[in-house]
Amino acid sequence: MAEYKLELRGVSKSFPGVKALDKVNLAVRPGTVLALMGENGAGKSTLMKCLFGIYHMDEGEIYLDGEKVEIANPDEAAKRGVAMVHQELQPIPARSIGENMYLGRFPVKKYGPIQMIDHATMFAETEKWLKELGLEYNPKALLGSLSIGQMQLVEIAKAVSREAKVIIFDEPTSSLSDNEVDFLFKVMNQLRDRGVSMIYISHKMDEIKRIADDIQVMRDGTYVGTWPAAELTTDQIIAKMVGRELTQIYPEHDHEIGEVILEVENVSSIHAKSFQNCSFNIRRGEILGFGGLVGAQRTELMEGIFGIRHLSSGTIKIHGKEVKITKPKDAMDAGIGMITEDRRGNGIFGCLSIKDNVGISIYNKHLKGGFVLNHPTINKIVDDSIKQLSIKTPSMNQHIENLSGGNQQKVIVSRWLANDPDILIMDEPTRGIDVGAKHEIYEIMEDLAKQGKAIIMISSEMPELLGMADRVYVMCNGKITGQIDQQEDMTQEKVMTFATKF
């Protein structure tokens, strides 16, 4: 038996203006989990896309079970036993779970020269694989009827159903609840016992310590090293990732909190199963946290305030005056900005440049003669944003889809900073972002609070919620079930008590 189930040797990949990978190596032992770690932009996802045949590498070699192989596309990867669970899901919500699981490899039955999809076999096989993983979903149900977390579990079942030798998990828990994470790790342990090798990409240190056998670190497109997971502390992993020690993840609270700037009173969704009778306020220069479990309706409440969702009742006051918000433009005109949770789905404009993604919120403010864009002014604003947030890009004209997930998130933050809102809603602002970039986002939030901005932060990461918020509201089942007003009173136990208060 070969020492390694999978090896990548000397992989290099360049894009216009940037070298994403520079002679990177990777090796996974049979029946083990290799955690692949590094800051956003380190090249982790690019390396995996080269392995999976999504990108054609400029140089390098791939070995499976000690044998050199060529993988030109994802179909070849699948045939060779390599499966990938992507960070950004691409589901077809209007089709069934079974159709999504067997997309591109439908079982068929022949009627002479005519071939037709064998739906009975497909649904039976889907049910078998779902049950093997303990998922009690109807294979004929529309995928769109599931939550994002449940869709992620179906994607994992799809990878397992291919009976893969190597499975790549790219940020698989970014949309999962704690119970779903526990379920995923149970499945991964079963796969490890069967001899399946796994590559696990995540920025969540507690997960890495729980599931990984080995840890490989990348930095700026290069290979740093590989170590047994048991030999590295969290601080050592961070230091290897960022090339320096981060002595304090969360900045000191050094901002002054002023008068109430936003009052939300008894707002309810038009949908009875969504948020109902929610009231809260936020002050100038305050970071207000919103905690709760998946499905608590925190995002939906903020989308209601921003005009994405319709309200059936309630009032919103800014500076003591009631405002009517029926669409996002109303919210923006009132001085509210919102960074959404789903970066890929409704955050970025993938086919546009960084300049356009930042500038789209301010183009109407910088016109010559009322209709011609003032490009020098816009260029300066965008360039300042790139420098302020340390966005890794050769130029502002680079397409945003060519950036790493973390750098895409920074561009979205830049968009709203350019618009200069008084109130900024940040929904899971550090989802899928590495620890170094998280620290930068936290410092930006602290700087905004010092400037008198009011920040509403939804976070499912308890340390982040407790480390950044001045006050915390907690939601459960569409209702605000608790409020913690003093930092010294904020504990995980208190938040969880309110988060489960049905």
In this structure, the answer to whether residues 437 and 470 fall within a common structural domain is yes
Token pair of 343, please? 């970066």
**Nearest alpha carbon to residue 61 among 9, 2, 12:** 9
What pLDDT score was predicted for residue 263?
97
What pLDDT score was predicted for residue 409?
78
In this structure, the answer to whether residues 68 and 187 fall within a common structural domain is yes
Separation CA 366–CA 178 (nearest Å): 45
**Residue 10 predicted with pLDDT over 90:** yes
Most confident of the following: 86-90, 260-264, 362-366: 260-264
> Which of 383-392, 409-418, 432-441 shows the lowest per-residue confidence on average (mean pLDDT)?
432-441
**Residue 378 predicted with pLDDT over 90:** no
pLDDT-derived band at 312 (thresholds 50, 70, 90) equals: very high
In this structure, the answer to whether residues 288 and 147 fall within a common structural domain is no
Mean of pLDDT values over 365-394: 81
Final residue of a domain: which of 194, 217, 242? 242
Domain span at residue 313 reads 259-335+422-502
At 78, which helix (H) or strand (E)? helix 74-79
Token pair of 368, please? 């010559």
In this structure, the answer to whether residues 361 and 330 fall within a common structural domain is no
Whether residue 71 lies inside any domain: the answer is yes
Final residue of a domain: which of 420, 455, 485? 420
For residues 53 and 71, the answer to whether their CB atoms sit within 8 Å is: yes
Q: Which residue has the tokens 């590559």?
A: 199
Whether residue 1 lies inside any domain: the answer is no
Mean of pLDDT values over 9-18: 85
Whether residue 64 lies inside any domain: the answer is yes
For residues 219 and 243, the answer to whether their CB atoms sit within 8 Å is: yes
* CATH number, position 125: 3.40.50.300
What pLDDT score was predicted for residue 319?
94
At 358, which helix (H) or strand (E)? helix 354-359
**Nearest alpha carbon to residue 477 among 299, 276, 296:** 296
Separation CA 465–CA 51 (nearest Å): 36
Q: What are the two backbone dihedrals, phi and then psi, of residue 66, each rounded to the nearest 5 degrees?
A: 80, -5
In this structure, the answer to whether residues 308 and 358 fall within a common structural domain is no
Final residue of a domain: which of 216, 242, 268? 242
Whether residue 461 lies inside any domain: the answer is yes
Whether residue 462 lies inside any domain: the answer is yes
| Identity of the residue numbered 81 | G
Chain mean position to CA 68: 34
What pLDDT score was predicted for residue 86?
77
Mean of pLDDT values over 373-393: 82
Whether residue 301 lies inside any domain: the answer is yes
What pLDDT score was predicted for residue 502?
62
Which residue would you say has higher pLDDT here, 206 or 88?
206
Which residue would you say has higher pLDDT here, 317 or 156?
317
pTM for this model (two decimals): 0.62
**Residue 3 predicted with pLDDT over 80:** yes
Whether residue 489 lies inside any domain: the answer is yes
Most confident of the following: 110-119, 121-130, 132-141, 487-496: 121-130
**Residue 281 predicted with pLDDT over 90:** yes
Mean pLDDT, the chain, integer = 87
Tally of CA atoms within 13 A in the half-sphere of 218 that contains its CB: 30
Which residues lie across from 108 on neighbouring strands?
Answer: 117
Please tell me the total count of domains within the chain: 3
Which residues lie across from 428 on neighbouring strands?
Answer: none
In this structure, the answer to whether residues 120 and 159 fall within a common structural domain is yes
